Amino acid sequence: MQTYLTILLKKNLIAKTLLPLFTVIIVSLLFVSCKKGDTGPAGLKGTANVIYSSWFTPATYKKDTIFGTYGFSYKEATADITQKILDSGTVITFGKLNGYNPIIWPTDQVSQLPINLTYLSGSQANIDTWSASLSLGNLTIRLVSSLNAYGTISTAHQFRYVIIPGGTKSTVASVNPGMSYAEICHRLGVPE
């Protein structure tokens, strides 16, 4: 009794049936693995000068009052924020608001500042707004509560910044505010 393979070999059917299948597989792999202009993380141009901080945790916040609403701010001194960065670069600040109840903000969730959180404080809606501002040599993190709900702030919150120096037109797709933290880190080669 002849095997199926022996019959195919005798009739030269292997080349006729399997060759087109292998061709389709190889061509499909080429299309799936590479897209025009896609060089992968190691080949990204314009990201060699990206600067990023470690996650930092403010130990204390300074309380201030502006137009009857008080807020809390923390100033992170850094030599990374130069006049050149202020004039032509981009600084993106991220926060892990781990001082909140995980129902309001999940532990270790990362988001780009400004972050607005709305939740009930008793029977009233409270809006917490976390923002970041820059000055020469400093990044300031600020929290404002719409209900003046806090006397102090938790020291569990963490922040980091990513600086994209200006001066050279990017040859890759730009980083935009709609991108997630993971997408920005991947695009710029920043370890999460």
Segments making up each domain of the chain, as ranges: 4-34, 43-188
pLDDT of residue 140: 96
b/e map 109-143, b = 16+ CB within 10 Å: ebebbebebeeeeeeeebebbbbbebeeeebebbb
In angstroms, what is the C-alpha Rg of the chain?
27
Averaged pLDDT for residues 14-18: 44
Q: What is the pTM of this model?
A: 0.66
Query: CB of 62 within 8 A of CB of 73?
Result: yes
b/e map 5-22, b = 16+ CB within 10 Å: eeeeeeeeeeeeeeeeee
Query: CB of 137 within 8 A of CB of 79?
Result: yes
Strand-pairing partners, residue 158, are: 96
Averaged pLDDT of the chain: 77
Query: CB of 77 within 8 A of CB of 59?
Result: no
Averaged pLDDT for residues 87-111: 94
Query: CB of 120 within 8 A of CB of 126?
Result: yes
pLDDT of residue 176: 67
Convert the pLDDT of each residue in 39-93 to its tens digit.
Answer: 334 444 445 688 999 999 999 999 988 888 889 999 999 999 999 999 989 999 9
